[in-house]
Amino acid sequence: MSLGVVDFLDERLDVRRISREFAEHKVPDHVNWLYCFGGITFLCFLIQAATGVLLAFYYRPGSDTAYTSVLHIMDDMPYGVVIRSLHAWTANIMIIMVIVHMLRVFFHGAYRPPRELNWVTGVLLFFMTVTFGFSGYLLPMNQLSYWATKVGTEIAGAMPFVGGYLQDFLLAGSKIGDATLTRFYTIHVIILPIVLSMFLAAHFYMIRKQGIADPL
């Protein structure tokens, strides 16, 4: 019966060859524990996706509703405190892991030709991860998130040439309010997950295509 299913899929989708390639591909001998940080970053991303969906079930963006909805998650939902704390801790650990992964790749010289394009996608993934953190920090709408976002958007506003436009885009108004929250929420749960997933797919495809870089 189960063999029947595998045969069915194999005839149509060549699944045996694909799974054999996945299982049997060789990992170079020089790969050691220093190579684990990219994978840990991906694990963090998966945890963020899972806990983020759970939080999104009950979170309500809006200057009147955001804070109380997060309190509701923490006080009334089963494991609400753990899920929110896991999301917050993993966000910080994820950024640390991206930075350590980047430093590992840099000092191993793994960015060198022909892997320049994978370095480019990696740096863009780093910027997206930081933007993830910045946009998520506002969402609980507590004192910390309000004032950190105020400082952050003021720094963005002081950028030469583009600052004014950037600040207008981020705040969606003259100050942090309902429109800012829905904008940050949209960036945090729709735009960034989609864009980051696409760049992640490109990042992983290039690793499989080009292999793990030889040591210097």
Least Å distance, CB 1 to other proteins, is 24
Least Å distance, CB 206 to other proteins, is 11
Query: 90: Cβ–Cβ under 8 A, 6 or more apart, which residues?
Result: 44, 47, 48, 51
Least Å distance, CB 168 to other proteins, is 16
Least Å distance, CB 150 to other proteins, is 8
Least Å distance, CB 167 to other proteins, is 12
Terminal alpha carbon distance of the chain = 51
- Sign of the Cα pseudo-torsion (90, 94, 96, 97, in order): positive
Q: Report the residue number, 66 or 189, with the smaller CB distance to other proteins.
A: 66
Amino acid identity at 211: G
Q: What is the footprint of other proteins within residues 35-74 (CB under 8 A)?
A: 36, 39-40, 43-44, 47, 63, 67, 70-71, 74
- Binding of residue 164 to other proteins (CB under 8 A): no
Q: Report the residue number, 1 or 23, with the smaller CB distance to other proteins.
A: 23
- Binding of residue 123 to other proteins (CB under 8 A): yes
Q: What is the footprint of other proteins within residues 1-40 (CB under 8 A)?
A: 22-29, 31, 36, 39-40
Q: Report the residue number, 149 or 189, with the smaller CB distance to other proteins.
A: 149
Q: Report the residue number, 52 or 140, with the smaller CB distance to other proteins.
A: 140
Stretch that binds other proteins, among 9-17, 108-116, 189-197, 198-206 (CB under 8 A): 108-116
Axis crossing angle, helix 15-24 with helix 2-13, rounded to the nearest 10: 90
Q: Which one of residues 84, 101, 183, 188 is an interface residue with other proteins (CB under 8 A)? A: 84
132 to 19, 95, 216: CA distances (angstroms): 33, 10, 33
116 to 52, 93, 113, 119, 120: CA distances (angstroms): 32, 26, 6, 5, 6
Q: How deeply is 44 buried, as exposed, middle or buried, from its count of CB atoms within 10 A (0-12, 13-18, 19+)?
A: buried
Q: What is the footprint of other proteins within residues 129-158 (CB under 8 A)?
A: 130, 133-134, 137, 140-148, 150-152, 155-156, 158
**CB contact burial 58-91 (16+ within 10 A = b; e otherwise):** ebebbeeebbebbeebeeebeebeebbebbeebb
The 3 state secondary structure assigned to 149-160 is: HHHHHHHHHCCC
Q: Which one of residues 111, 179, 192, 204 is an interface residue with other proteins (CB under 8 A)? A: 111
Q: What is the footprint of other proteins within residues 177-216 (CB under 8 A)?
A: 208-214, 216
